[in-house]
Amino acid sequence: MPDVEFRNIVKRFGSLTVLEKLNLKIADGEFLVLLGPSGCGKTTLLNMLAGLQETSDGTIAIGNRDVTDLDPKDRGLAMVFQSYALYPTKTVKGNLLFGLSAQKLDKAEMQRRVEWASKLLQIDALLDRKPAQLSGGQRQRVAIGRALVKNVDVFLFDEPLSNLDAKLRTEMRLEIKRLHNELKKTIVFVTHDQIEAMTMATRIAVMNSGVIQQIGTPDEIYERPKNLFVASFIGSPAMNMVPATVVANGGTCVARHEPSGVPLHLSRYQFEHQPKTGQNVIAGMRPEHFSVGEMPEEACGAYFELPVRYTEKTGSDVTAFLESGGGLIAVRFDSKHYHVPAAGERLRVSYPADKFDLFDPKTEVRI
Amino acid sequence: MTVTIEATAFAADRVKVKRRRRRIRGSSIAILVFLTMCAAFVSVPLYVVIVTSFKTMDQIAQGQIFSLPTEWTLEPWRYAWSQTCAGMTCKGVSAGFWTSLKILFPSLLLSIGVSSVTGYALALWKINWAGTFLFILFLCAFVPFQIIMIPLVVLVSSLGIFGTVWAVALVHAILSMPLLTLIFRNFYKDIPDEIIKAAIMDCGSFWKIFLEIILPMSANIMIVVLILMITSVWNDYLIGLTFGGVGTQPMTVILANTVITSFGEVRYNVNMAAALLTAIPPLVVYFGLGKFFVEGITAGAIKG
């Protein structure tokens, strides 16, 4: 079974360069999510893999085949589109069968595959219906079925869940994850939704303005973001970025939070490069890692007592925005353990010492 | 109590608003008068044509063109269909009817066949110079026939088909292609991009995608184009007159020859009947095809 490799991919639209010398290797059987904001080049990358857009330079290989100049139908891929893209005049069965039309198969084999895919996706009762007679979730299943019947090794998904409502999206997320576990095929999945990426991917490639910012498992991406962009893109509410200055270097490394002068204890932080005294850094603190009240001294990285500007309650969670210097620090905690603070109330929160993320303010890279 | 009073006042207000809407205003009277005049402009002559075609010549000779036939007769219709003279031949307009059909079908097949495929290719496939080609087509759609008539005659006679129904059909098809291609291209341009992308990944064959996916989605535009083409081919006079030979002239040319015949008595009732016979086929097409319009060609294909 093949892996997929992009080598030095360049994509230009006229004088605009969208992708510049991009390299990416997707291992066999992997569920890779291309994650990034709109216009970051992730769909372009997927379309180039599918053969729907041409590369300006570089090669794409599937297994040991160079597919850069092959027709889409000859690449051995199947794709699921955002808008389902079903054929409106064909029945569900007709849609599935048309997916097989590039492969020369005998009737019995085609029939067998349609039966298999429709059972797997629970659309076997709908085979004679037209797309107009289906609900959104059913249409999405048919679209996935049309890809499955091809029995290829690499599946491409172009934001397939963004047209579904929240409940269906969760269902289909599980469904796609289940299919991946059962079929063990390589999946390349494009999305701008970090929840989809975090829940489904075996690896995530975070993209911004045509460059892969970081590639790693969901945990790596979340726990050790390589740069400011990844740190701020992943996580909801977004990570707090506060300016700080390193004040003591040596046995106990301490940085001072610029607006308030609160010390940040960095002794548990794993530095990639040792900082100098007096160096400016940006300290990232995830809202969900804060806890209300005090912590044991050896675990505590920072302790703030700040007034609440406003709060947002989302079911079990409360996010409080604390006023600090000119900015706000978001703090998320469980409402079971603490009452919802009123605006203006002073809230005491502490941040664990092992959860900091430090970045260089100039290069935006992790320190 | 005040609340109730206010509510009643409010309800009364709403009733007033409703009534005001129903009243006929000056502008709507003007529109009505205008539309009635437009309708009369077409329907009064049509009425005269119809009643005259059912009258005997004796009644027509008395004048009173608006009166109903005192004695209804189908004789003028029968005569017009099978016996009236156009020039030297006296076989009625029926000869022209069959010729018109022989012209109509090949020209429909050729023009719709070629222009729908061209429109599909221009709209949904990447074609070099597509923009330039479209611009030239656009220009061609506005060139009057009279300008290129003589070169076309030379061209068609060099093909060796001048004076046959094929010549008339071919010229009709070629002249309608720029407009039809633009119509098809604009229609296919609205087909969601992802459907054609999916089809390219599934199958990749230009013809198979056209025949299995695109053509079945074209019912609406086909009806529009059919009505347009049938009406224009059937009602055409100039192309039929120029390119048709003796015995291969379409119904309109036969009709004209019948009506302008200058010897003997002018049989108005026969002329009217012949004119109506010529006008019936496009009318039938209009009313017959109109009901086949289907709504929402992409229903269910994509997120609505």
pLDDT digits (tens, 9 = 90+) for A328-351: 899 998 888 788 888 888 989 999
With beta carbons less than 8 A apart as the criterion, state whether A285 and A257 touch. Answer: no
With beta carbons less than 8 A apart as the criterion, state whether A21 and A58 touch. Answer: yes
> Does an H or E element contain A178, and which?
helix A166-183
What pLDDT does residue B244 have? 86
Residue with the larger pLDDT of the pair B88 and A165: A165
Residue of A55, A102, A99 lying closest to A74 (CA atoms): A102
Q: pLDDT grade, residue A245 (50/70/90)?
A: confident
Structure tokens at A179: 């299919």
Q: What is the ipTM score, two decimals?
A: 0.84
What pLDDT does residue A33 have? 95
Taking CB atoms and an 8 Å limit, are B200 and A72 in contact across chains?
yes
CA B217 to the chain's CA centroid: 22
Structure tokens at A38: 């709109």
pLDDT surpasses 80 at A69: yes
Taking CB atoms and an 8 Å limit, are A87 and B195 in contact across chains?
yes
- Share of residues in chain A with pLDDT > 90 (%): 54
Taking CB atoms and an 8 Å limit, are A88 and B217 in contact across chains?
yes
What pLDDT does residue B5 have? 47
What pLDDT does residue A273 have? 80
Residue to mutate among B126, B194, B197, B201, with most A CBs inside 10 A, is B201
Residue of A86, A123, A106, A334 lying closest to B192 (CA atoms): A86
Taking CB atoms and an 8 Å limit, are A132 and B296 in contact across chains?
yes
With beta carbons less than 8 A apart as the criterion, state whether B225 and B180 touch. Answer: yes
Strand partners, A255: A246, A264
Phi/psi for A123 (5° steps) reads: -115, 15
Q: pLDDT grade, residue B303 (50/70/90)?
A: low
Taking CB atoms and an 8 Å limit, are A101 and B197 in contact across chains?
no
Residues of B in contact with A165 (CB under 8 A): none
Please state the rounded mean pLDDT for residues A245-261: 74
Mean pLDDT estimate for chain B = 85
Task: With both helix axes pointing from N to C terminus, report the angle between A107-120 and A136-148 in degrees, rounded to the nearest 10.
Answer: 140
Residue of A282, A286, A284, A287 lying closest to A311 (CA atoms): A287
Q: Assess A86–B contact: CB distance below 8 Å, yes or no.
A: yes
Residue of A259, A253, A258 lying closest to A273 (CA atoms): A253
Kindly report which listed range (A62-71, B79-88, B257-266) carries the lowest average pLDDT score: B257-266
Q: How far is B297 from chain A (nearest CA, A)?
A: 7
Query: What are the pLDDT digits (tens) for B192-234?
Result: 889 999 999 988 889 999 999 999 999 888 988 998 899 999 9
Task: Collect all residues from B whose CB is shorter than 8 A from any CB in A.
Answer: 192, 194-195, 197-205, 208, 212-213, 216-217, 296-303
Please state the rounded mean pLDDT for residues A274-300: 86
pLDDT surpasses 70 at B141: yes
What pLDDT does residue B1 have? 40
Q: How far is B200 from chain A (nearest CA, A)?
A: 7
Is the four-CA dihedral A212, A217, A219, A220 of positive or negative sign? negative
pLDDT surpasses 90 at A261: no
Q: Assess A77–B contact: CB distance below 8 Å, yes or no.
A: yes
Please state the rounded mean pLDDT for residues A157-172: 89
What pLDDT does residue A1 have? 61
Q: pLDDT grade, residue B273 (50/70/90)?
A: very high
Per DSSP, the three-state class of A247 is strand
Taking CB atoms and an 8 Å limit, are B204 and A71 in contact across chains?
yes
Residues of A in contact with B296 (CB under 8 A): 132
E strands within chain A?
A: 4-13, 16-26, 31-35, 57-62, 65-66, 77-80, 154-158, 186-191, 203-208, 211-216, 240-248, 254-257, 263-265, 280-285, 291-292, 300-314, 317-324, 327-334, 346-352, 357-359
What pLDDT does residue B302 have? 62
Site of tokens 């309109």: B252
What pLDDT does residue B93 have? 87
Residue with the larger pLDDT of the pair A325 and B278: B278
Please state the rounded mean pLDDT for residues A68-92: 91
Report how many Cβ contacts below 8 Å link chain A to chain B. Answer: 94
pLDDT surpasses 80 at B22: no
Report how far residue A317's alpha carbon sits from residue B217's, in angstroms, rounded to the nearest whole number.
Answer: 50
Residue of A347, A348, A316, A353 lying closest to A333 (CA atoms): A316
With beta carbons less than 8 A apart as the criterion, state whether A310 and A328 touch. Answer: no
Q: Assess A84–B contact: CB distance below 8 Å, yes or no.
A: yes
Q: Best-predicted range by mean pLDDT among A95-104, A180-189, A335-344?
A: A180-189
Residue of A346, A299, A325 lying closest to A242 (CA atoms): A325
Nearest to B192 among A77, A85, A131 (CB): A85
What pLDDT does residue B9 have? 47
Query: What are the pLDDT digits (tens) for A289-299?
Result: 998 888 888 78
pLDDT surpasses 70 at A252: no
Domains of chain A: 4-233 (3.40.50.300), 240-359 (2.40.50.100)
Report how far residue B149's alpha carbon sits from residue B142's, in angstroms, rounded to the nearest whole number.
Answer: 14
pLDDT surpasses 50 at A267: yes
Please state the rounded mean pLDDT for residues B242-249: 85
Burial class of residue A3, CB neighbours in 10 A (0-12, 13-18, 19+): middle
Q: pLDDT grade, residue A102 (50/70/90)?
A: confident
First vs last C-alpha separation in chain A: 39
In eight-state DSSP terms, residue A270 is -
Report how far residue A244's alpha carbon sits from residue A194's, in angstroms, rounded to the nearest whole number.
Answer: 28
Taking CB atoms and an 8 Å limit, are A87 and B300 in contact across chains?
no
Taking CB atoms and an 8 Å limit, are B213 and A89 in contact across chains?
yes
Residue to mutate among A89, A134, A163, A190, with most B CBs inside 10 A, is A89
Please state the rounded mean pLDDT for residues B71-85: 89
Structure tokens at B146: 């009279």
